Amino acid sequence: MELPVVNHEDYFAKIGDNHKFPINKFSEIADYLIKKKIVNNFHKPYPCSDETLKRAHSDKYIKDIKNKTLDKNEVKKIGFPLVDSVVQRSLIATGGTVLASKLAIKYGLACNTAGGSHHANFNGGAGYCVFNDVAVAAQYLLDRGLAGRILIFDLDVHQGNGNSEIFRDNKNVFTFSMHSKSNYPAIKSVSDLDVELEDNLEDKKYIEILKFYLNQLNEENFDYVFYIAGVDIHFNDSLGKLKISDEGIKQRDEIVTENFFSKGVPLCGVLGGGYNKDFNKLVELHSFLHQSCAKLL
């Protein structure tokens, strides 16, 4: 069976050629997955509706994004220019994670080629995150009765503060974030379980810590998991502070996906962050998520 993967050409947005965020990675990842025969076709999402967005964001914030009337300071916090293609990208990428979340229920595993915008909270965006796609999709599944107890398993190098804030009082969503202690955001929020990593951590210790906490979480009986597979933990990432190798990231993704798949827990995988100094390497690293899922199906 082929792994269901969600992709759309509108994942690309016009943010300027010299922007720090590697926006070209979304189309390149899609091409890479086809070229390497990891997938043959993509599932195409629709833009996320206001009704679905309101499950995790305020009506005012949604309108300010769509009408491009967001306060300049709030736009600066996001880090993207608020132009039509950014608005479209934010809606379509969020719709992509909602679609992938439903496909995961049907097939056991599904991935988006975008997503993991975990710094956006109920009232605003931040850190290259406009809408919190995982939070929107998680609440969608809960409201539709498609999941009962959800784990957000976040291995991006940066803390998933938006998820922890949105779900602070929601006992049906457990937020786990294993991240660089000294990295963005400067002021961390409180997840259900935060694991703070010291600078320059390498593969062996990282994998030991990962396995330890996975074993703990396996006792919790979650019936759904969102996996934010950020590759900014790589030693050559311009925004990371860890020293994880290619092999370490590949092993991490295989451990996480196999852990939940073997227990029959549907897993929706999303990209998370990645700012590698070598663009081609960045694309390859992101593909490890999809490769590890494809092997299991």
CATH number, domain of 196, equals 3.40.800.20
pLDDT for 270 equals 98
Global pTM value: 0.97
Q: Which two tokens stand for residue 257?
A: 């996906």
| Cα–Cα distance, 128 to 133 (Å, whole number) | 13
Read off the pLDDT of residues 28-82 as tens digits, 9 standing for 90 and up.
999 999 999 999 999 999 999 999 999 999 999 999 999 999 999 999 999 999 9
| Cα–Cα distance, 33 to 287 (Å, whole number) | 7
Q: pLDDT tier at 201 (50, 70, 90 boundaries)? A: very high
Read off the pLDDT of residues 84-143 as tens digits, 9 standing for 90 and up.
999 999 999 999 999 999 999 999 999 999 999 999 999 999 999 999 999 999 999 999
Domain count, the chain: 1
pLDDT for 28 equals 96
Average pLDDT score, the chain: 97
Read off the pLDDT of residues 168-177 as tens digits, 9 standing for 90 and up.
999 999 999 9
Q: pLDDT tier at 18 (50, 70, 90 boundaries)? A: confident
- Residue 101: which of 265, 226, 233 has the closest Cα? 226
Which residues constitute the domain of residue 281?
Answer: 5-296
Q: pLDDT tier at 156 (50, 70, 90 boundaries)? A: very high
Q: C-alpha angle with apex 166: 158 to 207, nearest 5 degrees?
A: 35
Residue 54, C-beta contacts closer than 8 angstroms, at least 6 positions apart: 62
In the predicted structure, residue 152 carries a pLDDT above the cut 90: yes
pLDDT above 70 covers a percentage of the chain that reads: 100
pLDDT for 17 equals 83
Residue 229, C-beta contacts closer than 8 angstroms, at least 6 positions apart: 116, 155, 156, 253, 256, 269, 270, 271, 272, 286, 288, 289
pLDDT for 189 equals 95
pLDDT for 186 equals 87
